[in-house]
Amino acid sequence: MAGGRAAAKVALKGIAKPLEQLLKECEELVAKDFMKAGRKGATTFTRDAEESLAQRLARQEARGLSANVAERQTTKWSEKAAELYGRPPAGMFTNAHGHHIVFKGAAGDAGTLANKSQEILRHFGIDPIHGNANLIWAQNANHSVANAQEVLRRLTAAANSGGGRQAVEDALRKAGREVFGGWP
């Protein structure tokens, strides 16, 4: 009996690797189709097929948090930044404020780019408005199209890297420091 189990385990190990490779290839194809279709044109089925259950639940939770904005209207972003990080070092900024790395309410081209960045954050379960990961101390300036484009470029690269939520959060924080000279 024990020999039969051992033989079965060996046989399963032999097919597990090809199945893992097949699953990986399928995920890559779905991801390519997903990116080709664009976030707005992708169906729920395509999105669900690409996401793990944990990612889907995190995204849905983030959507729920964004939907509750009326209940939690936090517009004092400097107060929230102070609660999270303390005050920025003295003399670091001339006009410091709690700054969203992915803009929260931009208009025009910057708004279009910011909306795409917000969608990436939501996909990985990060609330783009109230989430702590998107808030830093920075000078009250630099809300340009070029900066919105650079943040989107970095988030897209992180999202496609396969590093998951952590890669996106890391790229977001790094953009906050490098693009906006933010702290921490």
User: Which one has a higher pLDDT value, 61 or 168?
Assistant: 168
- Tell me what pLDDT residue 70 has: 36
- Tell me what pLDDT residue 36 has: 57
CA atoms within 13 A on the CB side of 133: 20
- Tell me what pLDDT residue 55 has: 66
User: Which one has a higher pLDDT value, 180 or 66?
Assistant: 180
Nearest alpha-carbon partner for 38 in 109, 101, 115: 115
Model confidence band, residue 52 (pLDDT cutoffs 50, 70, 90)? low
User: Which one has a higher pLDDT value, 69 or 62?
Assistant: 62
- Tell me what pLDDT residue 31 has: 62
User: Which one has a higher pLDDT value, 109 or 72?
Assistant: 109
What global pTM score does this model have? 0.59
Tokens of 63: 């959507």
- Tell me what pLDDT residue 46 has: 42
- Tell me what pLDDT residue 69 has: 44
Model confidence band, residue 156 (pLDDT cutoffs 50, 70, 90)? very high
- Tell me what pLDDT residue 60 has: 58
**Which of 46-55, 64-73, 114-123 has the highest mean predicted lDDT (pLDDT)?**
114-123
- Tell me what pLDDT residue 183 has: 86
Nearest alpha-carbon partner for 131 in 94, 180, 86, 168: 168
**What dihedral do alpha carbons 39, 41, 44, 49 form, nearest 10°?**
-70
Q: How many whole angstroms separate alpha carbon 125 and alpha carbon 113? A: 19
Nearest alpha-carbon partner for 72 in 130, 128, 132: 130
Model confidence band, residue 153 (pLDDT cutoffs 50, 70, 90)? very high
Does the pLDDT at position 175 exceed 90?
A: yes
- Tell me what pLDDT residue 184 has: 85
Cα–Cα distances (Å) from 106 to 28, 40, 41, 77, 133, in that order, read: 33, 19, 23, 16, 19
